[in-house]
Structure 1
Amino acid sequence: MSREEAITRTFVELADTLVDDFDVIDFLQHLTTRCREIFTLADAAVLLAYPGPDLHSPAPCDPSPALSKVLDLALREGPARDAYRAGATVAPGDLARAPADWNNFTTQARAAGYTHACAVPLRLRRQTLGSLLLLSTTPAPLPADDLLVARGFADAAAIGLLNARTLEYAESLNDQLHTALHSRIVIEQAKGFLASQRRIPLNAAFETMRHHARQHCLRLTTVAHNVITTGQLPQPPNTPPTSQRPGKPTRSTPYE
């Protein structure tokens, strides 16, 4: 797939929110994954401010410990907060010359190996849902054309989220967005348990849960809760439990 095809496909995917099994957490994770792939970034993350007037928490993603610390600081200072507050793109260039009031964010980001940080708002007209933070480790900043595409992705994501809310389940989407602010811990716990149980890297454990959720039309948080409570990936809908299948012994491994 060419880069142009990947960009076009991403816009189509971000518009596809009018479905019965829409999962806002997987949707936002997909946005950050596409940004990393298309723009060759070290990391990308969505920070949500919905409902409420301020950034509250990163949307669930697959962060390293170093990135988690950067995101925690990004809630209070830095390009993601400024982009959300201003409703505009913030691209200061080299972190070595970042604004003085970003001191804590800049120090942590540079310690984690990032050289450049920029952010675009998730915004439709006067309504801003959060911001998309883009982090790189390259000598040069994100090119201006790529930054415009990233802004387009963020705009499309905001439209997709608001369309999903408007169509038929405003209350459900509001609940999902609110839950997304608090579900990162559950997903991180499940990812750690699955990685330990299967002796695989953390990112592989996360992709295993995400693939299982998408393959069986389950929410990512549902999969994570099941891993924590039973030690296993959940059974697909309408599939008999393993204990009901003849000749298949079962074993429950509780999460501790």
Structure 2
Amino acid sequence: MMKTGTRESRLNTAFVKLADTLVAEFDVIDLMHWLVEQCIEILDTQAGGLMIVNSAGDLQLVASTSEDATMVEVFQLAAGDGPCMECFRTGNAVTVASIEENLDRWPRFGPEALKLGFRSVHATPLRLRGQVIGTMNLFSYHVGALVSEDVAIAQALADVATIGILQERSIRSAELVAEQLQRALDSRVLIEQAKGVLAATLGTTMDNAFSIMRTYARDRNLVLRQVAEDITARRLQLGKVGKK
């Protein structure tokens, strides 16, 4: 369990970083990954994923903290079944204290989540003025629901991040909102391709490949999407990734 002081410090830092996205340029994909990573640490969960809606109105996975999180999220999308899908459809947070005790509720999602070791989940909507653009989903390896304070924290972080993602002050039409979200989804595809190239070339895991790629981008103040494009197009020497 995280010490209170550390938790409060992380929470303050998270809100400051999210507030910065409202007044400065930022990498949308990196922000989404950072958000779920911070939430699993602040809220004492073990994995997370973030989905947003595409121009066709369908959810797609944009960020995850591990391959297991990716697998369970992708399964939900393919099955059209699960707490994260319900959260998106209703626009309300969905808390599942015990996945095993809710197998009848989600007969396709439940068994797959349990196979991956997840025992509970909390899904938070990404919403702005009644419009739901996605969900942030936090998974735990133990049984138990988030306490009400943590539910409120998850929603608050998701709300501020949503404003940042949409750059609400400058976006006024539904068409521009869809364009912004679609670009983020397209970036996810490029990043996944680059992860695969790095993992195969360096003989490492997909999770570690992403960490190497993101560190490379941050150290050089580069946009993650551009680094991914350079890797897949072979403009970036794979043997030099991760080195300054």
Determine helix, strand or coil for the equivalent of 2:134.
strand
CA separation of 1:173/1:227 partners in 2, compared to 1, >3 Å: closer, same or farther? farther
How many residues matched? 233
Deviation (angstroms), 1:16: 1.8
Deviation (angstroms), 1:233: 5.7
2:15 matched to 1:11?
yes
Determine helix, strand or coil for the equivalent of 1:102.
coil
> Which residue of 43, 50, 56 maps to 1:46?
50
2:104 matched to 1:100?
yes
Residues 227-242 of structure 1 mapped to structure 2, 5 A cutoff: 227-230=231-234, 232=236
Structure 1 runs not aligned, ≥5 long: 235-250
2:226 matched to 1:222?
yes
Which one-letter code corresponds to 1:167 in the other structure?
S
CA separation of 1:201/1:73 partners in 2, compared to 1, >3 Å: closer, same or farther? closer
Deviation (angstroms), 1:211: 1.8
> Which residue of 24, 48, 62 maps to 2:28?
24
Cα offsets for 1:107-141 (capped at 9, x unmatched):
11111110001201011221211111111101333
TM-score, length-normalised on structure 2? 0.83
**1:91 aligned residue:** 95
**1:58 aligned residue:** 61
**2:184 aligned residue:** 180
2:195 matched to 1:191?
yes
> Which residue of 77, 80, 87 maps to 2:81?
77
Counterpart-to-counterpart distance in 1, 2:208 and 2:179:
28
**1:240 aligned residue:** none
Deviation (angstroms), 1:143: 2.6
TM-score, length-normalised on structure 1? 0.80
Counterpart-to-counterpart distance in 2, 1:180 and 1:89:
23
Which one-letter code corresponds to 1:106 in the other structure?
G
Deviation (angstroms), 1:165: 4.4
Which one-letter code corresponds to 2:225 in the other structure?
T
**1:122 aligned residue:** 126
Deviation (angstroms), 1:3: 0.7
CA separation of 1:84/1:71 partners in 2, compared to 1, >3 Å: closer, same or farther? same
Counterpart-to-counterpart distance in 2, 1:172 and 1:24:
15
> Which residue of 121, 140, 143 maps to 1:136?
140
Determine helix, strand or coil for the equivalent of 2:222.
coil
CA separation of 1:115/1:202 partners in 2, compared to 1, >3 Å: closer, same or farther? same
CA separation of 1:146/1:62 partners in 2, compared to 1, >3 Å: closer, same or farther? closer
Q: CA RMSD in A?
A: 2.7
**1:242 aligned residue:** none
Determine helix, strand or coil for the equivalent of 2:48.
strand
Equivalent residues of 1:165, 1:174 under 8 A apart: no
Equivalent residues of 2:55, 2:182 under 8 A apart: yes
Counterpart-to-counterpart distance in 2, 1:52 and 1:214:
32
**1:167 aligned residue:** 170
Larger radius of gyration: 1
2:214 matched to 1:210?
yes
Determine helix, strand or coil for the equivalent of 1:100.
coil
CA separation of 1:169/1:20 partners in 2, compared to 1, >3 Å: closer, same or farther? farther
Counterpart-to-counterpart distance in 1, 2:92 and 2:154:
12
Deviation (angstroms), 1:158: 1.4
CA separation of 1:53/1:184 partners in 2, compared to 1, >3 Å: closer, same or farther? closer
Equivalent residues of 2:49, 2:69 under 8 A apart: no
